[in-house]
Homo-oligomer: A and B are copies of this chain.
């Protein structure tokens, strides 16, 4: 019956992990200082250059090599996996004329998704979701300019494989359109990466509900809380994406064509849908706390009833036995021939009568 809980790994409060500090740079550092996050991997740079009729995919070794590809095809997508080397990123920043503060943000891997417009460049910071024991974030920084899209992420492996496949296999319009459509395809893949996570959480909520109704454990409520925190973290991740997708789909910018805006409106619809689902799930998760408390109350009520039934039946009977266990010299009943069996019958009747009373009060079975 003892509570011997160890805080399981999945009770970690999201966003409270010690993996990355809340701020990458020490307070008061010179603005624009680049500090690689702890345990960051060395960068791996891939370039995809393509147009309606051409397609080249290369892994490059240096930033100088990137330079040779840019401009060589209508659209060039430079992707960097791993933020472990600030020099490489610095060089890329200089090459694409990126503002130092935007570059600093790239390394701040717990940044809020956002859109920033520069004169001839759009800077989008977004977050991909994936599923581990709990859901996981990975930050994706994207710079969109004339003829190029530059994406930077923390580690290899992302939700963009389908986009790459469509490019390689020449499926859809991807090769025929400009950088804005490529940016849309990437953002769409990022938004859609939340759907499998949501499916998973909807299943967890159903499992938690069933557990609460049938066999609540003492850590159930902690797991409900963990789910609530995750849903909250997901919402904080999607909400700003919804915001900037709305801006991209509606506002005029020279880098985004009207035709692509129709597609961005679709991605925006998906983000709205995800926020809606998250709000529903959060309300459901909140309801589970109530369900748990009422379930615990019901169980305590059941325990109390068992105790009360037993005690209420036997305490008076024990008292009666105590009476005839007294040693008074003058207790006539004790000498009666039928004293003992008569008393036993009386006791039996009393016990049965009390049981019947409790049954009428509805203390059994039906509850």
Query: Cβ of A166 < 8 Å from any Cβ of B?
Result: yes
The answer to whether A206 touches B13, judged by C-beta atoms less than 8 angstroms apart, is yes
Give the residue of B13, B15, B298 whose beta carbon is less than 8 angstroms from that of A218.
B298
Q: Interface size for chain A: under 10, 10 to 19, 20 to 34, or 35 or more residues?
A: 35 or more
Contact of A284 among B112, B229, B297, B334 (CB under 8 A): B229
A301 contacts B298, CB within 8 Å?
A: no
Q: Which residue of B lies closest to A4 (CB)?
A: B214
Cβ contacts under 8 Å, A203 to chain B: 16
* Given A283-B232, A364-B1, A213:B222 Cβ within 8 A: yes
Give chain A's interface residues, CB within 8 Å of chain B. 1-3, 5-7, 11-13, 15-16, 21-23, 26-32, 99, 101, 104-105, 111-112, 114, 116, 159-163, 165-166, 171-174, 185, 188-189, 192-193, 195-196, 198-199, 202-203, 205-206, 209-210, 213-215, 217-219, 221-222, 225, 228-229, 232-233, 236, 262-263, 265-266, 269-270, 272-273, 276-277, 280, 283-284, 287, 289-308, 310-312, 314-319, 321-331, 333-340, 343-344, 361-367
> How far apart sit A367 and B161, CA to CA, in the bound complex (Å)?
45
Contacts of A292 in B (CB 8 A): 294
Contact check, B291 vs A221: say whether CB atoms are below 8 A apart. yes
Q: Shortest CB–CB separation between residue A260 and chain B, in angstroms?
A: 11
Interface of A (DSSP majority class): helix
Q: How often does this chain occur in the complex, in copies?
A: 5
A327 to B340, CA, bound (A): 9
Bound CA–CA A319/B365 (angstroms): 26
For this complex, 18 residue pairs linking A to B, each with C-beta atoms less than 8 Å apart, are: A7-B214, A11-B213, A13-B202, A16-B202, A22-B199, A27-B193, A111-B269, A112-B272, A215-B362, A215-B366, A225-B290, A229-B287, A294-B296, A311-B311, A314-B319, A321-B322, A330-B336, A330-B337
CA separation between A171 and B32, bound complex, in Å? Answer: 12
A321 to B318, CA, bound (A): 9
Is the pair B307, A307 in contact by a Cβ cutoff of 8 Å?
Answer: yes
Which residue of B is nearest A171, CB measured? B30
B312–A315 CB distance below 8 A: no
Contact (Cβ within 8 A) B195 A30: no
